């Protein structure tokens, strides 16, 4: 009963897969398209889409049209893993982009290395995503790196608020753990003590207990590493407690509707970004912003949601396109080698000069980080 | 855990627990008149929250307009669940209504996911969440006071309804002896539909009250519904006050355990507690055993 | 579930594995993942099928067992370098232990409570995995799970996919064999009719615990395969939704069927893949699919296919009837020295009521002993005490020299006590032959070697033929007509090779011919040396075949002896027919209405009413008429159909043929509440008050359909029953039987009905109360109310009635004035059987 339909199905699937896309170059994205961080997935999509539009307007890559294929990981590593496998084996994408969740990216790493699929992270910042010990390593990143972000956060807290004893509030997952290491190192280097380290779960709703312990330990600032939903709940607990301590945060909170979820005290959290659409934009910036206005109805820089995802993804897409052109092929190994050969690229965030090398798969560095906060529903820069 | 944290947890827990209890009252009402459990109750709670957000925040309607409409839709949804997910199976003596109501809850969740949106939204601050006062060294918002008040208020109202009004007594009659109720001229089918609609309103109210505390999303009802169900089971599906009490106990225990040990332990302990409690008292903590007739 | 034979399942399994292998060679890496997922889903579904499909226990927590298997195998193979196959088996073993432990609370609860226990279990495991970081890696998950070893290293994707498919095929076939094995039969029996299964010797606790353990083990093994296939697991891999999906797998395919899991896996895994563009709608799709299956195809794809197939095959060839084999049966059943059943001063109390009071009887082997008595006397209760379904408070029960007092039912069965039930409790989901096979094994799971399959089948068929069953033994038990159900149940009871056979109303619903044949069968059974004890209302049968009769009334033995002795016994006549004294007082009947006097209009007219279940109608062409102001008595023995007639008239029993007219309008198809509102009120059998409501609330509810009662009216009603006035606020459930009956009557009057129907008002009441009650009835009659009175107290009822009907086996055998009936032998015949 089952043999005939099964074979027919396989045949049909193969035909469909082969027939339609013989010419197109497919670019894959596995990101959070639903759930608490859905905004991040949308932002990344926009960055990739705008870059792809520009490429196609100039005839595509190697004269072939570029298309984007997306899959939702629902912020869940098993789902992300299944989606990545599908894109690699079924859709046969030339390159795979990742989303905001470090745990998801970490789960995908072994598969992309095994399948020789170039993987470019455009948000998830865990240090061991790129430093994963594989050789050859197919994982690249145009985004922040936790070790370096942690140094920035500690320095900012000390310089802006004179902090001497921060308390850490970290999400209980590999990303949180990555930053725990990084913050400890950064604090030691800056010769300050850590008041305490508290863990929070993604679905927690009340962090009063954790904050109370930190307050009792004498914390004079909170360093927050979490995504929008749990981060928001922590801010609400802080407000309920009436504890007006400064909050310096990693960028996870910008992946969702942080300000809407927190309410009036959202602006108390200062967080890190790699890009802002405010101020003077370079050529690429003006181009991208115009495209956002036409394509997505954006009116002012304040309307851009989760700008980091868009900016990182846009630059990353162009870098990968250049690598494919250089390699004259969509073969994974060829692309990987070509990534090290990229010439200058005047990008959105900065101008890239030979951004990648065999022992350095990070496209951005600490000089590219800026600090911002939420104000009136918009992300605005704070002073350096 | 210091005393302050403990009290704060208790206050939060009583609020949360009274919402478990209120939702569980819905389970109780439908179980007593129809002998079935509506597993879509969690989705109804979510519907109440989502509608109050959409009508009140997105469309900007005043709450005294938005709330009744939201509750009416919740009532209608529960009545629909009864008509297509319970009655066809109860009538032929099958227990498939258990799975059918699960399925209906899933469907509603997905429909809301596409219409309402995929990421959670936050209710804006209102005077309820902004105004607060000091109580023994902790800050308590008006909302946190309002929640248990409303919860217990509704429980009292339900109690008054069934003990004082004719329609309420008719409902009790249906619960106690269906055929005899028919002989009194009571339209049992109508009473069952009404009971489901009522349970829908309870869930909707709970959803609207907890929305400002948490976030509003399509998936918010599932776990809440399961916990409320646990409260109903622990309370013993035949005892309304037992159900409310079980809800408050469950919520308070959860809140205190979270404050002390973290939230994974909360889930483990509360669900393990349910298993142990049912192992020791299969009829629920406050229910009474039924004699099996051969 | 019959339908697909073992061989067909084998073919299907082989075909599936072949297809999977072919797919593995043609497809890409992702397809290998899909094939593996389908295979693993089929394995899980097979595991759940054992619990849900065979044993009938729902579980919403199987993701927990899946997780236990996955994590155990991962930790052992990755950290401790145990070879993967061993690690997977260890995972299965650990899951089995968890399953057996979960069975402890699960056994004590059912339905929604069971669902809650399993849901809770699933969450505890999921969260426990997250919390136990040191072992499981917490929320980070567990990476780099090794592959099983194979020729030349670890299995690659393709070999693993094929291996999963092969295991799935093996388990699919294994399930088919299991379902028809002794264990599978026992499980299916407990699913279909728990009580009957126990009465055949099945130990419910052992059977269900075994089902949980096996189900968990298979699911755990699938979890191990899942872990190695994915290479990465985290607590998020085992959400609550997964448990729902598992149930869906079993339901869509067809619970209880061997091929169901494969079909379910194909649908549930492939359909979302084919519609990957609509992947977002996955939840909605699953919900919708679940609903559709529940509404339209409750036995899943396999079930629908099977019923289609059986419909086709029935048309092409008829199944063979069973062949008899007298010698085999007598070799199997007969006993040289049978053991008598001795019941000595047995007593039990329910609530405050002494249901059985110091009852004693002896059923000698080789003889037929009958237990008779009016309705509610305690006959079935006594039977239940003897067969272990109730625990007595005092007294003893002995089979031969062995004492079985208070032993649970399955133990009583294994001690040689077999029984049948008032309503046949066959295992509907099994064939007739399988019903007997369960009994042949005495429901045992282990111990005494099972009867070899071929011999068991032959013996079963022989027993069936011996009791007079002429159908096929492969027929599904649920499809049998009424008389066959009775016969099969008797054959099944005999298959346990009992010493004592207890039969509860075996002739209920049988035609006269069938009853005669039944009598012959019972004689033959006794002839083989068994002790036969029957409860019956069918007096011709009882008087015809009994060697000894015991009469019980209100829980006490009031007479015993030969049929002739019992029939003459005045105590017996009183118990059945009531006192000869006429009711005195204001109730003295006014002189009969002179013939030709103006006849009052017809208030209630029943014409050719037929009601019943299938081939044996409970009521056949019943016609009666009630005029305004009359008191009509409806009399007849138990089982005659009186209560059914009352329920049919007021709309509680539907559908019915014929017609019922009330106050001129047709109410044949009206609903009960509408009929009540129109003024036709029934005071039902067994009082049926609302136990948690107060007396006054009960009373007021009587007028629910009309306007609320005025206080004056309430007082009036209390005036009719002064005893109730002082109990106004008492909860009705706490009242004595007599008080409840008065309340029920007052409640019936509250709405001022045009016609009042009373069903057995005197049942179970003390004589003094009965006198009070009938005094009230006389008063009502004097007021000119129209009343239909059904009662066992025939003489008392007749003393009040104008006219009377006598119902016997669903037919009216007398219609006339009360006076005519008083001395008419038809009454005695109906109650006590012919001379």
Read off the tokens for A371: 């600090």
Do residue A103 and residue C139 have CB atoms under 8 angstroms apart?
A: yes
Do residue C232 and residue A10 have CB atoms under 8 angstroms apart?
A: no
Chains that touch B (3 or more CB pairs under 8 A): A, C
Closest chain C C-alpha to A16 CA, distance in angstroms: 11
CB C146 within 8 A of CB C228: yes
Closest chain A C-alpha to B207 CA, distance in angstroms: 15
Closest chain B C-alpha to C590 CA, distance in angstroms: 31
More confident residue, C646 or C144: C646
For chain B, how long is the longest CA-to-CA vector?
A: 60
How many residues would you count in chain A? 384
Which of A72, A206, A241 would you mutate first to test chain B, the one with the most B CBs within 10 A? A206
Write the residue in C19, C33, C143 that is nearest to A6 by C-beta.
C19
Plot region of C28 (φ>0 → left; ψ -120 to 50 → alpha; else → beta): beta
Write the residue in C33, C232, C270 that is nearest to A107 by C-beta.
C232
Residue B51's contacts (CB-CB under 8 Å, 6 or more residues apart) are B66, B69, B70, B73, B74, B204
Query: How many beta-carbon pairs under 8 angstroms link A with B?
Result: 74
C positions 689-748 inside 8 Å of B (CB): 689-693, 697, 700-702, 704-706, 708, 747
Chains that touch C (3 or more CB pairs under 8 A): A, B
Do residue C141 and residue A107 have CB atoms under 8 angstroms apart?
A: yes
Domain locations in chain A as residue ranges: 7-144+281-365, 147-273
Do residue B274 and residue C117 have CB atoms under 8 angstroms apart?
A: yes
Q: Residue A8 has what pLDDT?
A: 53
C positions 30-59 inside 8 Å of A (CB): 30-31, 33
Read off the tokens for C189: 């029996």
Q: Which residue has the tokens 């050859």?
A: A136
Q: Tell me the per-residue pLDDT of C245-289, one tens digit each, with 9 for 90 and over.
A: 999 999 999 988 899 999 999 999 988 887 766 667 777 888 898
Q: Residue C349 has what pLDDT?
A: 87
Read off the tokens for B54: 């959409």
Write the residue in B118, B122, B215 that is nearest to A38 by C-beta.
B118
CB A212 within 8 A of CB A237: no
Q: Which of C603, C587, C645 is nearest to C800 (CA)?
A: C587
As beta bridge partners, residue C356 has C348
Mean pLDDT of C394-411: 91
More confident residue, C182 or C582: C182
Helical H segments across A131-173, by residue range? 146-161
Residue C494's contacts (CB-CB under 8 Å, 6 or more residues apart) are C333, C418, C439, C463, C467, C501, C525
Count of C-beta atoms within a 10 Å radius of residue C416 = 22
Q: Tell me the per-residue pLDDT of C703-717, one tens digit each, with 9 for 90 and over.
A: 888 878 888 888 888
Residues above pLDDT 70, as percent of chain C: 94
**Cα R_g (chain B), whole angstroms:** 19
Q: Tell me the per-residue pLDDT of C269-278, one tens digit each, with 9 for 90 and over.
A: 988 887 766 6
- Superfamily of domain A7-144+281-365 in the CATH hierarchy: Response regulator (3.40.50.2300)
Mean pLDDT of C372-399: 89
Closest chain A C-alpha to B211 CA, distance in angstroms: 11
Is the pLDDT confidence value at B236 over 50?
Answer: yes
Residue of B nearest to C732 (CA): B176
Do residue B267 and residue C127 have CB atoms under 8 angstroms apart?
A: yes
Please tell me if residue C234 touches chain A, with a CB cutoff of 8 Å.
yes
Do residue A209 and residue B9 have CB atoms under 8 angstroms apart?
A: yes
Between CA B227 and CA B230 the distance in angstroms is 5
Provide the pLDDT confidence category of residue C492 given band limits of 50, 70 and 90.
very high
Q: Tell me the per-residue pLDDT of C577-588, one tens digit each, with 9 for 90 and over.
A: 665 544 444 344
Read off the tokens for B203: 């869930």
Residue A191's contacts (CB-CB under 8 Å, 6 or more residues apart) are none
Q: Residue C712 has what pLDDT?
A: 87
Provide the pLDDT confidence category of residue C328 given band limits of 50, 70 and 90.
confident
Read off the tokens for A352: 């890239």
Q: Tell me the per-residue pLDDT of B46-76, one tens digit each, with 9 for 90 and over.
A: 999 999 999 988 898 988 999 999 999 999 9
Write the residue in C115, C651, C704 that is nearest to B186 by C-beta.
C704
Helical H segments across B165-239, by residue range? 166-176, 178-183, 188-210, 220-235
Do residue C234 and residue A1 have CB atoms under 8 angstroms apart?
A: no
Domains A7-144+281-365 and A147-273 belong to one CATH topology: yes
In three-state secondary structure terms, C428 is: coil
Please tell me if residue B172 touches chain C, with a CB cutoff of 8 Å.
yes
Q: Residue B294 has what pLDDT?
A: 47
Between CA B188 and CA C679 the distance in angstroms is 18
pTM of this prediction exceeds 0.90: no
Is the pLDDT confidence value at B293 over 50?
Answer: no
Q: Which of C181-185, C202-206, C666-670, C770-774 has the lowest mean pLDDT?
A: C770-774
Closest chain B C-alpha to A378 CA, distance in angstroms: 16
Provide the pLDDT confidence category of residue C397 given band limits of 50, 70 and 90.
very high
Residues of A in contact with C15 (CB under 8 A): 1-3
Between CA B208 and CA B67 the distance in angstroms is 8
Which of A233, A234, A261 would you mutate first to test chain B, the one with the most B CBs within 10 A? A261
Query: How many beta-carbon pairs under 8 angstroms link A with C?
Result: 90
Between CA B91 and CA B95 the distance in angstroms is 10
Q: Residue A186 has what pLDDT?
A: 95
Closest chain A C-alpha to B265 CA, distance in angstroms: 11
CB C571 within 8 A of CB C578: no
Which of B12, B118, B124 would you mutate first to test chain A, the one with the most A CBs within 10 A? B118
Burial of C127 (0-12, 13-18, 19+ CB in 10 A): buried
Residues above pLDDT 70, as percent of chain B: 94
Q: List, for chain A, all residue ranges whose pLDDT scores fall below the cut of 70.
A: 1-22, 383-384
Read off the tokens for A341: 């050969």
Q: Residue C580 has what pLDDT?
A: 52
Read off the tokens for C379: 């006959």
Q: What ipTM was predicted for this assembly?
A: 0.91
Do residue A208 and residue B1 have CB atoms under 8 angstroms apart?
A: no
CB C658 within 8 A of CB C645: no
Between CA C485 and CA A28 the distance in angstroms is 64
- Residues B253-273: b if buried by 16+ CB within 10 A, e if exposed: bbbbbbbeebbbbbbbbbbbb
Domain locations in chain B as residue ranges: 21-235
Q: Residue C276 has what pLDDT?
A: 67
Closest chain B C-alpha to A209 CA, distance in angstroms: 5
Specify the CATH class of A147-273 in words: alpha beta
Residues of A in contact with C22 (CB under 8 A): 3, 6-7
Count of C-beta atoms within a 10 Å radius of residue C277 = 7
Between CA C438 and CA C496 the distance in angstroms is 9
Between CA B86 and CA A178 the distance in angstroms is 50
First to last CA, chain A: 69
Q: Residue C615 has what pLDDT?
A: 57
Q: Residue C344 has what pLDDT?
A: 92
Cβ-based interface (< 8 Å): residues of A facing B:
33-39, 199, 201, 203-206, 208-209, 212, 216, 229, 232, 240-242, 256-257, 260-264
Between CA C801 and CA C587 the distance in angstroms is 11
Average pLDDT, chain C: 87
As beta bridge partners, residue C551 has C372, C559
Between CA C745 and CA C739 the distance in angstroms is 10
H/E run at residue B74: helix B63-81
C659 φ/ψ angles, rounded to the nearest 5 degrees: -145, 150
Is the pLDDT confidence value at C214 over 90?
Answer: yes
Do residue A208 and residue B259 have CB atoms under 8 angstroms apart?
A: yes
Between CA C683 and CA C695 the distance in angstroms is 16
């Amino acid at each position: 009963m089952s043999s005939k339909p099964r074979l027919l199905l396989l045949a049909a699937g193969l035909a469909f897969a082969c027939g339609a896309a013989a010419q197109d170059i497919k670019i894959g994205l596995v990101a959070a398209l639903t759930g608490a961080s859905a905004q991040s997935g949308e932002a990344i999509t926009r960055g990739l889409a705008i870059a792809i539009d520009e490429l196609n307007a100039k005839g595509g890559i190697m004269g072939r049209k570029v298309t984007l294929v997306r899959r939702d990981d629902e912020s869940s590593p098993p789902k992300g893993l299944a989606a990545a496998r599908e894109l690699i084996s079924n859709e046969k994408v030339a390159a795979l982009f990742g989303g905001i969740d470090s745990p998801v990216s970490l789960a995908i790493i072994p598969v992309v290395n095994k399948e020789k699929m170039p993987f470019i992270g455009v948000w998830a910042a865990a240090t061991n995503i790129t430093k994963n010990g594989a050789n050859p390593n197919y994982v690249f990143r145009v985004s922040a790196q936790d070790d370096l972000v942690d140094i920035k956060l500690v320095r900012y807290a000390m310089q802006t608020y004179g902090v001497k004893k921060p308390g850490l509030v970290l999400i209980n997952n590999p990303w949180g753990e990555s930053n725990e290491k990084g913050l400890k190192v950064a604090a030691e280097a800056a010769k300050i003590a850590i008041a305490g380290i508290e863990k929070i779960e993604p679905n927690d709703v009340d962090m009063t207990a954790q904050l109370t312990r930190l307050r009792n330990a004498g914390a004079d600032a909170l360093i927050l590493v979490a995504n929008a939903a749990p981060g928001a709940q922590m801010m609400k607990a802080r407000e309920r407690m009436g504890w007006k301590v400064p909050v310096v945060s990693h960028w996870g909170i910008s992946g969702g509707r942080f300000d809407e979820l927190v309410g009036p005290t959202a602006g108390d959290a200062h967080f890190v970004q790699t890009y802002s659409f405010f101020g003077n934009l370079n050529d690429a910036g003006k181009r991208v912003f115009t495209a956002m206005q036409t394509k997505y109805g954006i009116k002012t820089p304040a309307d851009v949601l989760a700008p980091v995802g868009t900016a990182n993804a846009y630059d990353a897409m162009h870098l990968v396109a250049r690598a494919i052109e250089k390699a004259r092929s969509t073969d994974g190994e060829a692309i990987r080698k070509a990534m090290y050969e990229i010439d200058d690229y005047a990008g959105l965030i900065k101008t890239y000069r030979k951004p990648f090398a065999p022992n350095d798969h990070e496209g951005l560095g600490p000089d590219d980080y800026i600090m911002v906060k939420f104000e009136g529903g918009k992300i605005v820069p704070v002073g350096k | 855990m210091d005393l302050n944290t403990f009290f704060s947890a208790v206050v939060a827990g009583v609020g949360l627990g009274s919402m478990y209890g209120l939702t569980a009252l819905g389970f109780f009402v439908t179980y007593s008149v129809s002998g079935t459990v509506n597993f879509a109750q969690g989705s109804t709670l979510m519907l109440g929250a989502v509608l109050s957000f959409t009508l009140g925040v997105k469309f900007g309607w005043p709450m005294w307009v938005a709330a009744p409409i939201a509750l009416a839709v919740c009532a209608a949804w529960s009545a629909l669940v009864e008509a297509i997910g319970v009655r066809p199976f109860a009538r032929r003596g099958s227990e498939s209504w258990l799975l059918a109501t699960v399925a209906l809850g899933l469907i509603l969740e997905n429909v809301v996911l596409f219409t309402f949106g995929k990421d959670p939204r936050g209710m804006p601050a209102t005077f309820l969440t902004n105004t607060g006062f000091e109580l023994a060294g902790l800050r308590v918002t008006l909302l946190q006071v309002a929640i248990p008040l409303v919860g217990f208020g509704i429980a009292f109202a339900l109690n008054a309804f069934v003990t004082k009004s004719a329609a309420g007594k008719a409902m009790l009659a249906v619960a106690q002896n269906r055929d005899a109720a028919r002989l009194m001229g009571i339209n049992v089918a109508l009473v069952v539909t009404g009971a489901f609609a009522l349970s829908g309103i309870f869930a909707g109210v709970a959803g609207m009250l907890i929305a400002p505390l948490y976030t509003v999303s399509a998936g918010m009802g599932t776990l809440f519904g399961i916990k409320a169900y646990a409260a109903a089971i622990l309370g013993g599906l035949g005892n309304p006050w037992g159900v409310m009490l079980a809800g408050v106990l469950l919520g308070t225990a959860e809140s205190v355990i979270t404050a002390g040990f973290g939230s994974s332990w909360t889930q483990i302990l509360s669900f393990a507690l349910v298993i142990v409690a049912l192992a020791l008292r299969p009829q629920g903590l406050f229910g009474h055993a039924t004699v099996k007739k051969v | 579930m019959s339908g697909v034979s073992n061989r067909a399942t084998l073919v299907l399994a082989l075909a599936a594995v072949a297809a999977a292998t072919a797919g593995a060679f043609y497809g890409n890496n992702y397809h290998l993942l899909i094939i593996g997922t389908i295979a693993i889903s089929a394995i899980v579904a097979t595991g759940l099928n054992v619990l849900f499909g065979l044993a009938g226990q729902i579980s919403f927590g199987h993701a927990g067992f899946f997780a236990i298997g996955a994590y155990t195998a991962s930790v052992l193979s990755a950290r401790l370098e145990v070879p993967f196959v061993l690690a997977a088996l260890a995972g299965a073993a650990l899951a089995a232990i968890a399953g057996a432990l979960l069975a402890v609370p699960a056994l004590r609860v059912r339905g929604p409570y069971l669902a809650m226990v399993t849901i809770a279990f699933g969450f505890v495991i999921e969260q426990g995995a997250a919390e136990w970081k040191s072992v499981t890696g917490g929320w980070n998950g567990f990476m780099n799970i090794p592959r099983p070893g194979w020729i030349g290293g670890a299995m690659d994707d393709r070999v693993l996919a094929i291996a999963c498919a092969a295991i799935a095929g093996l388990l699919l076939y294994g399930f088919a064999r299991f379902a028809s094995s002794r264990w599978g039969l026992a499980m299916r029996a407990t699913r279909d009719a728990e009580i009957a299964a126990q009465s055949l010797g099945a130990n419910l606790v052992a059977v269900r615990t075994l089902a949980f353990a096996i189900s968990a083990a298979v699911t755990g093994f699938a979890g191990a395969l899942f872990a190695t296939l994915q290479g990465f697991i985290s607590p998020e891999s085992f959400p609550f939704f997964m448990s729902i999906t598992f149930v869906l797998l079993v339901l869509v395919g067809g619970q209880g069927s061997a091929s169901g899991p494969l079909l379910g896996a194909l649908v549930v895994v492939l359909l979302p893949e084919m519609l990957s563009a609509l992947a977002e709608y996955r939840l909605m799709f699953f919900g919708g699919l679940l609903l559709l299956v529940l509404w339209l195809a409750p036995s899943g794809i396999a079930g629908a296919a099977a019923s289609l197939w059986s419909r086709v095959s029935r048309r092409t060839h008829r199944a063979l009837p069973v062949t008899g084999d007298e010698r085999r049966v007598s070799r199997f059943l007969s006993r040289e020295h049978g053991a008598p059943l001795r019941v000595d001063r047995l007593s039990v109390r329910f609530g405050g009521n002494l249901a059985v009071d110091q009852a004693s009887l002896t059923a000698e082997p080789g003889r037929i002993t009958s237990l008779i008595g009016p309705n509610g006397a305690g006959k079935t209760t006594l039977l239940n005490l003897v067969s272990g379904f109730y625990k007595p408070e005092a007294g003893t029960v002995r089979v031969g020299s062995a004492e079985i007092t208070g032993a649970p039912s399955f133990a009583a069965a294994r001690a040689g006590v077999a029984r049948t039930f008032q309503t046949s409790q066959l295992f509907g989901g099994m064939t007739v032959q399988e019903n007997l096979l369960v009994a042949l094994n005495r429901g045992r799971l282990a111990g005494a070697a099972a009867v070899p399959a071929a011999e068991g089948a032959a013996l079963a068929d022989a027993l069936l033929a011996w009791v007079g069953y002429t159908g096929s033994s492969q027929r599904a038990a649920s499809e049998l007509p009424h008389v066959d159900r009775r016969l099969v149940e008797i054959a099944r009871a005999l298959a346990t090779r009992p010493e004592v056979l207890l039969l509860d109303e075996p002739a209920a619903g049988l035609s006269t011919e069938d009853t005669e044949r039944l009598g012959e069968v019972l004689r033959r059974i006794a002839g083989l040396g068994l002790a036969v004890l029957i409860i019956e209302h069918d007096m011709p049968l009882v008087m015809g075949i009994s060697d000894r009769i015991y009469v019980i009334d209100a829980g006490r033995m009031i007479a015993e002896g030969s049929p002739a002795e019992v029939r003459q016994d005045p105590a017996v006549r009183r118990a059945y027919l009531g006192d000869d004294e006429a009711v005195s007082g204001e109730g003295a009947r006014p002189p009969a209405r002179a013939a030709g006097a103006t006849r009052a209009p017809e208030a209630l007219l029943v014409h050719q009413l037929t009601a019943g279940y299938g081939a044996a109608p409970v009521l056949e062409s019943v016609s009666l008429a009630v005029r305004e102001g009359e008191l009509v008595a409806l009399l007849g023995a138990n089982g005659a159909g009186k209560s059914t007639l009352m329920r049919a008239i007021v709309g509680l029993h539907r559908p019915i043929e014929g017609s019922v007219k009330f106050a001129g309008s047709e109410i044949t198809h009206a609903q009960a509440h509408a009929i009540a509102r129109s003024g036709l009120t029934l005071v039902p059998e067994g009082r049926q008050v609302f136990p948690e409501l107060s007396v006054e609330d009960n009373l007021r509810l009587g007028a629910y359909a009309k306007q609320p009662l005025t206080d004056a009216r309430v007082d009036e009603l209390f005036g009719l029953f002064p005893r109730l006035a002082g109990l106004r606020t008492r909860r009705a459930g706490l009242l004595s039987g007599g008080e409840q009956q008065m309340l029920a009557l007052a409640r019936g009057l509250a709405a001022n009905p045009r016609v009042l129907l009373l069903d057995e008002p005197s049942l179970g009441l003390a004589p003094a109360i009965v006198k009070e009650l009938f005094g009230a009835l006389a008063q009502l009659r004097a007021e000119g109310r129209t009343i239909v009175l059904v009662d066992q107290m025939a003489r008392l009822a007749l003393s009040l009635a104008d006219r009377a009907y006598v119902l016997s086996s669903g037919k009216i055998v007398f219609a006339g004035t009360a006076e005519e009936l008083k001395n008419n032998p038809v009454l005695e015949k109906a109650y006590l059987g012919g001379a």
